[in-house]
Amino acid sequence: MRLAAKVEKIDTSPTLAITARANALKAEGEDIISLGAGEPDFSTPTHVKEAAIKAIEEGFTNYTATVGIKDLREAICDSIKEDRGVEYSSDQVIVSSGAKNSLFNAILALVEEGDEVILPAPYWVSYTEQIKFAGGRPVVVDTLEENGFKLTVEELKQAITPKTKVLILNSPNNPTGSVYTKGELEKIAQVIIEEDLFVISDEIYRKISYEAKATSIVSLGEEIKKRTVIIDGVSKAYAMTGWRIGYGVGPTKVIEAMARLQSHSTSNANSVAQKASLAAIAGTQKPTEEMLKAFDKRRDIITDVINDIEGMKANKPKGAFYLFVNIKDLLGMTVKGRKVEDDLTLAELILEEVGVAVVPGTAFGKEGYIRLSYATSEEDIKEAISRIKGFVELYS
Ligand code: PMP
Ligand code: GLU
Match domain 5-43+287-395 to its CATH number in 3.90.1150.10, 3.40.50.300, 3.90.550.10, 3.20.20.70: 3.90.1150.10
Per-residue burial over 173-182, b if 16 or more Cβ lie within 10 Å, else e, is: bbbbbbbbee
At 396 the pLDDT is 85
Q: How far is the CA of 308 from the centre of ligand 1 (A)?
A: 30
pLDDT tens-digit profile of 254-311? Answer: 999 999 999 999 999 999 999 999 999 999 999 999 999 999 999 999 999 999 999 9
- The two beta strands, 164-170 and 246-249, are unpaired
Whether the predicted model's global pTM rises above the 0.75 cut:
yes
What CATH number should be reported for the domain whose range is 46-283?
A: 3.40.640.10
At 199 the pLDDT is 98
At 164 the pLDDT is 98
Which residue has its alpha carbon closest to ligand 2 atom 4? 38
Taking phi first (over 0 means left), then psi (-120 to 50 degrees means alpha), and beta for anything else, what does residue 239 get? left
CA atoms within 13 A on the CB side of 286: 6
At 21 the pLDDT is 87
Which residue has its alpha carbon closest to ligand 2 atom 2? 38
Cβ-contact 212, 182 below 8 angstroms: no
Which residue has its alpha carbon closest to ligand 2 atom 5? 38
Regions in the chain scoring below 50 on pLDDT: none
From 173, 204, 245, mutation site for ligand 1 pocket: most ligand atoms within 8 A of C-beta = 204
Q: Kind and range of the H or E element at 7? A: helix 5-8
Cβ-contact 258, 250 below 8 angstroms: no
Q: Work out the number of other CB atoms within 10 angstroms of the CB of residue 117.
A: 27
At 9 the pLDDT is 86
At 158 the pLDDT is 98
At 212 the pLDDT is 82
At 144 the pLDDT is 97
Q: Is 158 helix (H, G, I), strand (E, B) or coil?
A: helix
For residue 261, give Cα distances in angstroms to 66, 126, 204, 265, 386.
10, 19, 22, 6, 48
End-to-end CA, the chain: 48
For 316-360, the DSSP string reads: PPSBTTEEEEE-GGGTT-EETTEE--SHHHHHHHHHHHH-EE-EE
Q: Kind and range of the H or E element at 164? A: strand 164-170
CA atoms within 13 A on the CB side of 373: 23
What ranges do the domains of the chain cover? 5-43+287-395, 46-283
Q: Is 147 helix (H, G, I), strand (E, B) or coil?
A: helix
